[in-house]
Chain A
Amino acid sequence: MVPRLRFVTGSAEGLSPNAGSVRVSLTNIYLFSSFFLEKVSNKVQQMTAQNMLTKIASGRVLDYSHNIGQYMGGMDWPGEGFVLPIATAVAVHNTVYVLGRGAESTGVAAPMEPRAFGTRVGKFSVGPTPGDEEHLLTFGSFGEAPGQFMWPTGIALDEDENVYVSDEWLNRVLVFDKDGNLLSTWGSRGSGDGELNRISGITIDDNGNVYLVDSLNHRVQTFTRDGKFLGKWGGPGDGEGQFNSPWGICLDQDGFVYIADHRNHRVQKWTPQGEFLLQFGSPGDGPGQLQYPSDVTVDPAGDVYVCDWANNRVQVFDPTGAFLTSIVGDAHEPSKWAQMTLDANADLRKARRLVSTMEPEWRFALPTGVTFDKVASRLIVADTQRYRLQIYNKITDYIEPQFNF
């Protein structure tokens, strides 16, 4: 039993007047129906063997470690949990910044006036050992005032550990220092050079160039750290070098750029100079297929991890785009903070002991972000709808146990 999505059909629509930009019309063959006794997404489970904590493919090993976080409910206080964590950024010394998308809240307001909670950046120390995580700092909140954001989507760090947050509603980038003090803000809405329309993924290279996914302009733009426009690539479409609502972005060791081309159900690889190189992925839920990928990250060996959002999994490809394996979430044990909640509530413990299987709890639910921590050699998956991060160690010197043990 996998967290089911309601009946949806994937397709990209035509003109959306209020978005102020053209969205490309595609016929998407993909149908996702999950309804009562139909569990289409179980198909995914069957192809990638269940109950495995260690995935081996072609000499690479992804070894599930632990998860951190928990559901904070309708609460806006910071600390040991998240509200819809959608992206992370990793600094050295086991520091992880978690971007909380937040949720709209109830409360009397004028029609269409938004209120939200949980929209913030949380800074955590996350070591290799389950339970060693600590909340260090929370900053940012929902709104339009300086230092606030409404729809924070991407997070990245520069070499000084300044924190860049992209806001896809206010169309601006906020830059904070590592203590959460606002340093600068830049960006404005439009479709001209340097103008933005629902910016999402963000990443920064070693030279301090900022790569920003300009989602509803269907392109990537580059800027200096202060927001000065440098260049732009792409445009709307489904051909080579075109995009449809692209989302996440990352760089590899050599500076090549990978972009999750969300509504084209594929990943694209470009040179840092802005030339299209290759693409992989096609619509579907089979091995190597993608459905609305949201993010991508690359490890030092060149393996590419794609956050396959609507398929509730992370798929792994080699540098040529060949499919290797996928992971579907393996959180068998509650995190430290989740355990605190369980320890405090006997009814929760009783209720959990009455279910026939805890498997739905292990699995990803609309995971949105993937980040590779090079120093610790681990993959961090933002398991968004389960309010946690799942951490997998990437092991290169793994020795398999005896088969007929």
Chain B
Amino acid sequence: MPDHSLTQMAHLMRRAGFGALPDELEERISKGYEETVEELLHPEAIKPVDQYELLRYQPWTWKPGTLSNPGPTSWVYRMINTKRPLEEKMTLFWHNVFATGVSKVDHWDEVADMIDLFRDKGLGSYQALLLDVARNPAMLFWLDNNQNHAPAINENWGRELLELFSMGVGAYTEEDVKECSRAFTGWTISRKIPRFPYGRFDWSFEYLADDHDDGEKTFLGETGRFNGDDIIEIICRQPATATFISRHLYSFFVADEVGVPAWSETPPIDPEAVKTLANTFMETNSDMRSVLRVLFNSDFFKKARSSKVRSPAEVVVGTMKLVGGADFPVPGYGELARQSSYMGQDLLNPPSVEGWHSGEEWIDSGNLIERINFMTHMVGDLERPGVRQMVEDLRSKGSLQPAEFVDATIDLIGSPRVGETSRKELVDHASKRGDLAWNEDATQRSLEMFKLVVSLKEHQLA
């Protein structure tokens, strides 16, 4: 049976990051669980990925064409290579909350700038983040706030801000939506030079005082000549905001909740857990670090092992960390960045402002085949350094009986708890060819076993 601290640490690294290989797990265990949580919460102490390295070899990743180039490449490069896993996991988290898609924005780099914002500010104050999201050009365009004018308001941003980005349905009225939208009039984007004939340029936030409705507004029971910043300040004081964001954190890091549209009717899986997080949120003025510290150190988190369906992004990143060969720019990185799209998660292009439906909805007959095809392709590729390493690790154990072979492989692949039924199937299969002794056959048998393990239902979980 695996050692408890190893299981615990592997679970933490799968949830707070994209998984970790045995060496890293050993190192983190010797540091300690709580110390590891602290390290994860303080990425600023660790060197970030050098984006210039990717630009040196793949200059097209700077401002990719919408249809012609794979846009999420520089983000995927970062996710795979980061030594700051929680910081990067938070970019995925916030991208699903403040879901903005290139299908309308039409500039990968503008949506990728949001990811940079989430990386920069995702572990800090939620209020500060929200203030920046409200000024983000991609977001403003996505939710039509550049069409929100004093004489004729457009409620899209104002509504989603309340419904999906802070408090959730039920915490406000239609009047509040209108007043909120009035407060954000004049929050727009300056025109930029178009993409032909010399490539893409950047948008900037622009505040047009002339277009701003400066009149008195009543929002959530408070009255004043509110501007956007005031609205956000009021929102962040509401317990509903603390609960809503905490529930998002629970769903992303602990256990999959139902889709957000059902939240107003369906209570959380673990109301006490959400309440605990929400209390911390309120007490610390929406400090995400503090809330996450409570989350990762909680029993409800530690117990929730092997229960969460991994998102396609986690499948791709986790697999590449295991098999290696993606730590330095190589041709084909663009195609790698598209793999999660084939599995149902088009990075930088969620299907709507509601984000992706997670949990078991990641698995359908098409997506499951894509996930397994991708993973088996990678773990079966002896050209990859991580795969060769796993074969070597097996070889170093000497001759292995079928059960030992299966268990050793499961450990190397880093699968979470494999159930007895699955394990028995693998052992029965391995038994057909007897002990794994290191003859010509053994490498092929190893690769086959790697592929079988990643195809397990359990391996789709984190």
- A interface list, Cβ under 8 A from B: 1, 3-13, 16-19, 35-37, 70-71, 73-74, 81, 84, 86, 101-106, 109-117, 150-151, 168-169, 245, 262, 292, 310, 331, 334-335, 337-338, 341-342, 345, 347-348, 351-352, 354-356, 358, 360-361, 365-366, 368, 384-388
Contact = CB atoms under 8 A, between A and B. Distances in A.
Contact of A1 (B50, B68, B194, B204): B204
A112 B204 contact: no
Interface in B108-133: 109, 112-113, 116-117, 119-120, 132
A117 B59 contact: no
Contact of A111 (B60, B195, B339): B339
Contacts of A74: 65, 67-69
B58 A104 contact: yes
Contacts of B191: 351, 354-356
A386 B199 contact: yes
B116 A6 contact: yes
6 contacts: A6-B112, A7-B116, A18-B327, A36-B205, A73-B196, A113-B332
B378 interface: yes
B69 A71 contact: no
B267 interface: no
Contact of B378 (A19, A81, A102, A111): A111
Contacts of A351: 191, 193-194
Interface in B261-308: none
A355 B193 contact: yes
B29 to A, nearest CB: 23
A10 B59 contact: no
Contact of A112 (B116, B196, B333): B333
Contacts of B335: 104, 109-115
Contacts of A360: 193, 201-202
B69 A106 contact: yes
Given A348-B194, A348-B196, A17 B331 contact: no
Contact of B55 (A7, A110, A245, A366): A366
B188 to A, nearest CB: 13
B197 interface: yes
Nearest to B121: A35
A106 B52 CA distance: 22
The 7 closest A-B pairs by CB, nearest first: A74-B68, A103-B60, A104-B334, A338-B197, A114-B331, A112-B332, A114-B332
Contacts of B132: 36
Interface in B50-92: 50-53, 55-60, 62-65, 67-70, 73-74
Contact of A35 (B63, B116, B196, B324): B116
Contact of A71 (B51, B120, B195): B195
A129 to B, nearest CB: 20
Contacts of B62: 5, 365-366, 385
A387 B195 CA distance: 11
B334 A385 contact: no
Given A16-B327, A361-B201, A86 B377 contact: no
Contacts of A342: 196-197
Contact of B196 (A101, A104, A345, A385): A345
Contact of A3 (B60, B117, B202, B338): B202
A104 B333 contact: yes
Contacts of B51: 5-8
Contact of B57 (A37, A151, A338, A387): A151
A111 B53 CA distance: 21
B59 A384 contact: yes
Contacts of B55: 366
Nearest to B319: A111
B32 interface: no
A142 B23 CA distance: 39
Contacts of A3: 201-202
A361 B57 CA distance: 24
B215 interface: no
Nearest to A32: B52
A354 B189 CA distance: 12
B170 interface: no
Instruction: Tell me the interface secondary structure of chain B in the complex.
Output: loop
Contacts of B199: 71, 365, 385-387
A9 B50 contact: yes
A122 B60 CA distance: 18
Which of B201, B327, B338 has the most chain A CB atoms closer than 10 A to its own CB? B201
Given A104-B58, A358-B193, A385-B199, A111 B336 contact: yes
A350 B62 CA distance: 26
Contacts of A386: 198-199
Given A104-B331, A111-B335, A356-B190, A37 B116 contact: no
B395 interface: no
Nearest to A291: B52
A73 B68 contact: yes
Given A7-B120, A112-B335, A36 B193 contact: no
B385 interface: yes
A106 B385 CA distance: 26
Interface string B335-377: 1101100000000000000000000000000000000001001
Contact of B198 (A37, A114, A169, A387): A387
B445 interface: no
A388 B204 CA distance: 25
B437 interface: no
B50 A10 contact: yes
A10 B53 CA distance: 9
Contact of B197 (A86, A101, A334): A334
B152 interface: no
Given A13-B53, A104-B58, 13 more contacts: A3-B202, A6-B116, A7-B116, A9-B47, A10-B52, A13-B50, A16-B328, A73-B68, A74-B69, A102-B60, A341-B196, A366-B62, A387-B197
Contacts of A4: 202
A84 B59 contact: yes
A129 B14 CA distance: 61
A18 B59 contact: no
A68 to B, nearest CB: 12
Contacts of B385: 17-18
B234 interface: no
B434 interface: no
A384 B61 CA distance: 13
B325 interface: yes
Contacts of A86: 59
B135 A36 contact: yes
B208 interface: no
Contacts of B70: 104, 106
Contacts of A106: 67-70, 334, 338
B68 A368 contact: no
Nearest to A355: B191
A327 B385 CA distance: 44
Contacts of A1: 201-202, 204
A361 B195 CA distance: 10
Contacts of B196: 70-71, 73, 341-342, 345, 348
A157 B385 CA distance: 39
Given A37-B204, A351-B194, A365-B199, A73 B119 contact: no
Nearest to B59: A84
B432 interface: no
A105 B69 contact: yes
B52 A292 contact: yes
Contacts of A388: 198
A334 B327 CA distance: 40
A390 to B, nearest CB: 11
